[in-house]
Amino acid sequence: PFPWYRACLSQGTVLRDETSQSWDVFGYEEAQFVLKNHAHFSSQRTVDGQNVLGNYAPSILNLDPPRHTQLRRLINLAFTPKAIASFQPRIETITHNLLDAMKQETQGKSTEVDLVAALAYPLPVIVIAEMLGVPPEDRDKFKRWSDLLVEGPSDLRPETIMDLMTRRAAGRKELDEYFRNIVQLHRGKDDGTLISALISAQIENESLSLEELLSFCVLLLAAGNETTTNLIVNAWRCLLEHPEAFAMLRENPGLIDGVIEETLRYYSPVQATSRIVTEDIEVGGQKFSKGDRAVVWLGAANRDSRIFENPDTFIPTRSPNHHMAFGHGIHFCLGAPLAKLEAKIAILAMLSQIDEVSAVPTDLTPIISGFVYGVKSFPIQVTW
Ligand code: HEM
């Protein structure tokens, strides 16, 4: 998408897309304006899960204030920086187990491994599963549901899309039933899981309803897994495409935070989000009308040369680096600290264990999606 952003940004910060009857917002200031201004730009894009099987409670991602504010405050009670930090030792253990499995498979020699399948994909799924109190024996089932939520169509034929929608609806129903049980098991227990903290979170006698809890659990899988996988893989792609940055990090692992922030800017795992205009308003000199859809291209804003010097260059020491990879305003990513912690642990653990690593020259298959930026597999050659 990057050459396209460059071409669009040279024409203007906001452009009309006649084919999809929507506005494309590319400029950094304009993107912030839209995301900050939630009264004019609604997140109630669709009613969550309204499909053949009936309705589900909308998740916070698709709600506006005042309901969004109330739910997010309740969720924040459970999803605290302290709760995330307390998970660090578990993330480290899970990472080391995955690396050990990777090594066993390659018998300690130099071999090719797929970074996605071996580490970047399983790590976030296992972390979320544990946080939600899913027992290890249910993990495979849980993985399948999680995949189904974000699976893109293999092609764009109507029957392929219909088939995917039907499978997804069935998966969502199973997942809902499964989570109902999990909630039952953890209700009234303060067992340190995120799910028990969510159940007991209370403000002024209000807590999350069962339907809201279920929608939130589903949102965690949909919003947290593939995005984190892509952050880990995109960071390795950045490092292997920029040997000087890789050498710097090897020399000084303290640069890891900068590497992750710059990856988020340069290869943003989420390239775009959207809003619906609630009242006529002007953005970047263009007149948006009530009911219009606005697509906010975070990946383009992150390469706006009015904010970032040499925007198309990967500079891990870039400072300041106020990218918008996690959004902006009231819907700012709830999982940002967790995603960064997982990426940091995954990259440093690999760095400390490998002698040599390089990308296997091959054409990478991008994930089919207008909003997610990542590849389906990333073969690397590793010497342990
Ligand atoms: C919201 C990106 C990882 C949970 C968002 C938004 C973005 C984003 C751009 C805002 C969407 C909007 O305004 O429409 C990312 C990226 C990730 C990541 C790039 C990884 C690198 C995670 C993880 C979790 C998570 C690990 C949870 C475990 C959420 C939730 C929201 C959200 C719950 C909705 C917040 C709200 O509506 O108030 N994320 N995310 N994300 N993210 Fe993430």
Q: pLDDT digit string (tens) for 103-153?
A: 887 666 788 999 999 999 999 999 999 999 898 899 888 888 888 888 877
Protein residue with least CA distance to atom 42, ligand 1: 333
Q: Could you tell me the two tokens for 27?
A: 């400029």
Q: Cα(228) to centroid of ligand 1, in Å? A: 10
pLDDT at 299: 98
Q: d(Cα 383, Cα 358) in Å, to the nearest integer?
A: 9
Q: What is the pLDDT of residues 144-175, one digit of tens each?
A: 888 888 887 778 889 998 999 899 889 999 99
Q: What is the pLDDT of residues 194-244, one digit of tens each?
A: 999 999 999 999 999 999 999 999 999 988 899 999 999 999 999 999 999
Predicted interface score ipTM higher than 0.90 = yes
Collect all residues with Cβ–Cβ distance below 8 Å to 61 and sequence separation of at least 6: 43, 219, 223, 331
Q: Which of 63, 80, 334, 341 to mutate to test the pocket of ligand 1 (most atoms within 8 A of CB)?
A: 334
Whether 84 lines ligand 1, by a CB cut-off of 6 Å, is no
Q: Which of 326, 347, 369 to mutate to test the pocket of ligand 1 (most atoms within 8 A of CB)?
A: 326
**Nearest atom within ligand 1 for CA of residue 60:** 37
The answer to whether 74 and 203 have CB atoms below 8 angstroms apart is yes
- Provide the strand spans (E) within the chain: 14-17, 22-25, 41-42, 111-114, 272-277, 281-283, 286-288, 293-297, 356-359, 379-383
For the entire predicted model, the pTM comes to 0.95
Whether 60 lines ligand 1, by a CB cut-off of 6 Å, is yes
Q: d(Cα 358, Cα 237) in Å, to the nearest integer?
A: 10
Q: Could you tell me the two tokens for 357?
A: 């690593």
What are the chain's domains? 2-383 (1.10.630.10)
Q: d(Cα 378, Cα 112) in Å, to the nearest integer?
A: 10
- Looking at residue 38, its amino acid is H
The dihedral region occupied by 285, where left means phi > 0, alpha psi between -120 and 50, and beta the remainder, is left
